[in-house]
Chain A
Amino acid sequence: MPSLKLHSKQQIIHCEFEQGESLLQIIQQQNVNIPAPCGGNGTCGKCKVKVKGLGLVNSCTHFPNDNIEVVLPNEREAKILTHQNDYTLQLPVQLDELGQQSAYPIGLGIDIGTTSIVFYWISLITGSIIRSVGVGNPQVKYGADVISRINYCNSKENLLTLQKELVDVINTQINTFVEMEGLTPDFLVKISVSANTTMLHLLAGIDPTSIALVPFKAQFLEAKKIKSCELGIVANAEAEIHLMPSISSYVGADIVSGLASLKADENIKNYLFIDIGTNGEMAVVTPEKIYCCATAAGPAFEGANIKYGMGAFDGAISAFGVDGVRTISDEKPRGICGSGLLDIVAFLLEKNIVGMEGELPEDYTLVSKEESANGEAIVLTPQDIREVQLAKSAIVTGVKILVQEAGVKMDELDAVFLAGGFGNYMNPESAIKIGLLPAEVSGKIITVGNTSGTGAMLNTISTKFEEYTHQIIQKSSLIALAEHPEFEMEFAMNMYF
C-alpha cells in the first residue's frame, strides 16, 4: 500500500492508505480536521492542502496512487526525523512476561528531545512500526534549552509542572492512538524512553538542579523501570516505562541509545559518533573502548544568536551556493537555518569575503528586501561569523581532543556517524570547509538520522537491547574537556577558519 506523510500542527503523521480514496478522506481518517463545507464536491476550494511536488490541490478531488507528502495550509512543517539507516542494529522481537500474555501487544518508543518529542508505535507481534508522530516539547514555554528548564525547577511545584507537561503530552498521544486503532490502553504493554539526562529527571519527577551546578552531577544515571500508574501514564496497569541509562549529566541516554542502535560493518573499526545541537555530544568508538564528551556549541546552528537565524521551518534558507539560496518548501526566504548558515559561511570563505581569522568588514546581503518574505533584506553580520566561529570550534575541539585521548589518528577514523536533525540536513562539504569537522574525515561522513529514537524502538522490541546499552556504558569513559590541559588553547586556535 502507498503511504502518506502528513505535516499537521507541528506533528508528522505516517500512515498507509488504499488507492481509490480521496486525499480528503485519507487525511480525515487520521483524525485531522480539514474544512470541507461543500461536502467534497470540489466546488468550494476550502480543503486545499499542499502536496509536495504538485503544490496546492483540492484534497477532495485528488486521488493519490503513490506515496505522498502533504503539508496542511498555514501550518509550519515540523522537521523531525524518523528514518533509519543502513547501519541500524536488527533485533527479533523478544518480549517480557506481560508482552507474552497480551493478545495484541503494542509497544511505544519515545525520544524526548529538548525541543521535540517523537513517538514510535510498534506492533510487538511483528516488531514493525505502526506509526510515528513527532510533536514539539510542550516544556519549551518554560525555556528553550536544558539550563533554563533546570532554572525553572527552583521549587517542587515547578518541577511537577514540567513533569506534568511531559506526562500529559504522552497521554494525549496514547489516547489518540488507541482511539484511532480502536484499541484500549490495556494493549500498551511496554514504553521505552530515550532522552537527555535532564529530560529523564523531569519525566521521573526528580530534581535536576545539580546537573547545572558544579560538579554537574546527575541524581541518577542508571536505567529505571517505573510502573506506568506511578507516573500517571495511561497504559496497561502492569506496563513499565523503561528509562534508558545515561553516561553523565551531559552525555545522556539519547547518546547511549544511539550508540547501541548502530552496528558498524567489519570495514569500520574506529569511528566517530556525533550529534550536533545546542550541546554537541560525541563519542569515539574503538574496538576496545568508547571515549565520549559533551561540548557547549551554543544555539547558533539552531538559529539563536544569529541576526536572521531561525529554526528549520518553511522559508528558512537551508542551502546556499553560487546558484543562490534554497529555502525549505521553496517559500520566499524569511531567515537562515543551521544548514544554510554552514553553506553561507563556506561560500564566503571560498570567495575570500570572510578571511581566515573570521573578519567580515560589513554585513553581507544574502537576499534583497524585494525578494524576502517580510520586506526586509536578509544579511549575515560580522557578529554572526563570530558566533559560528565559537560554535564550530567547540565541536571540532571536542573531536580533536577525543580522538587524541582514544589514541587514534584522525585519518584512522573509518567513519563519522552524524546523528540528529541538523546532521541530516547539513552539507558535509560545507561542514569541513568551515572546520566544523576536521578535513581528514572528508568522504567518510554517514548521516544516520534520529538514532536516539531508533534505540528507544529497539529497547521496546527486544528485552535483549538492554545488554547492548549496558555494554556501551561499560565500555565508555567520559573525557572532561574543560579540564584538559590543551583545551583552552585548542578552543581558541580552532576558531580560525
Chain B
Amino acid sequence: MNELLEKLAYCVEFGKINKVSPFPPNMKDQDGADEIAKQLLDGGVPATDILMKGLMPGMEKVGVKFRENKVFVPQVLMSAKSMSAALDHLRPYFQSGEAERKGIFIIGTVEGDLHDIGKNLVAMMVEGNGYEVIDLGTDVKAEQFIETAEKNPGSVIGLSALLTTTMGNMEKIVATIKEKNADLKVCIGGAPVNQDFCEKIGADSYNPDPQGVVEFLNALAS
C-alpha cells in the first residue's frame, strides 16, 4: 500500500487528475489521483493516512517548487485539481468524524474585490495540506468572516485582495475582526500586499506564496 500512497503523492505533484486526463502527457492512460484514492480506500487504508501520506507530501512538493519558481500557476492548478479528485472520496470520512483534519481555515476576497484566482490557489493548497477550508468567495464583508469564525472555534482567517483600492477594505476588516475578538488569527495576501502593510494594519501574517500560508497554519496548529 505504501507504493500506492507514493503513487498518489506523485499524481498530486504532477497534476494527474484521473485516467482520462491528458495531462501531464507522459502519464497518458495511467491511473490518476481519482482512481488511486479509491483503490486505497477499497484496500482498507484509513482516510487520514491517505491525506497525510499521499496528498500532503505531493501538495507540499508542488508548493515548494512554486515558491522556487520551478513550476507555475497551471501546474499548481492541475495539482490542486488532482488533490480535489482524491479528496472527494475522503470527504464522507471527515464528515462522519472518522477521520480528522488539522484545523479550519476561512478564506475570502475582501469587500470591493472580485479577483479570486490567487485566493483559490491558496484555498486548494491549504486543503491539500490537511485543513478544512471554508471559502466565503469574493466581495466578503468583515461580519461574514467574524460570523463564520465564531461558528468554527479555533479557525484561522485568510484575506485576499488584488486591487490597491481594496487594500483599505482589508485594513478595515482586520480592525473589525481584532476589535471583536483579538484572539482570532488573520493572515493576508495578494499582489499589492506586503510585510510592511501587514504590520501596519495589525494582521498576524503575510505570505507571498501559498506554501507560506500552509507553514503559518502548521506553526499555529503545532
A residues near B, CB below 8 A? 147-148, 150-151, 209, 212-214, 216, 357-359, 382-383, 386, 389-390, 482, 488-489, 491-493, 495-496
Contacts and interface: CB of A to CB of B under 8 A. Distances in A.
A444 to B, nearest CB: 28
Contacts of A482: 114-116
Nearest to A150: B165
Given A150-B165, A212-B165, A213-B112, A491 B72 contact: no
Contacts of B113: 213-214
B75 A357 contact: yes
Nearest to A209: B165
Taking chain A's interface residues, is the majority helix, strand, or loop, or is none over half, making it mixed? helix
B201 interface: no
Contacts of A216: 114
B164 A151 contact: yes
B117 interface: yes
A491 B120 CA distance: 13
B160 interface: no
B109 to A, nearest CB: 9
Nearest to B110: A214
B69 interface: yes
Interface in B55-81: 69-75, 77
Contacts of A382: 69
15 contacts: A147-B164, A148-B164, A214-B112, A214-B114, A357-B74, A359-B70, A386-B69, A482-B116, A488-B120, A491-B117, A492-B73, A492-B74, A492-B117, A495-B72, A496-B74
Given A214-B113, A492-B77, A386 B166 contact: no
B163 interface: yes
B6 interface: no
A177 to B, nearest CB: 37
Contacts of A488: 77, 117, 120
B166 A489 contact: no
A382 B69 CA distance: 7
A496 B112 CA distance: 31
A131 B178 CA distance: 60
Contacts of B75: 357
Contacts of B111: 214
Contacts of A390: 73
A488 B117 CA distance: 7
B72 A358 contact: yes
B209 interface: no
B165 A213 contact: yes
Nearest to B121: A492
Nearest to B76: A492
Q: Which 6 A-B pairs rank lowest in CB-CB distance, beginning with the nearest?
A: A212-B165, A213-B112, A492-B74, A492-B77, A214-B139, A495-B74
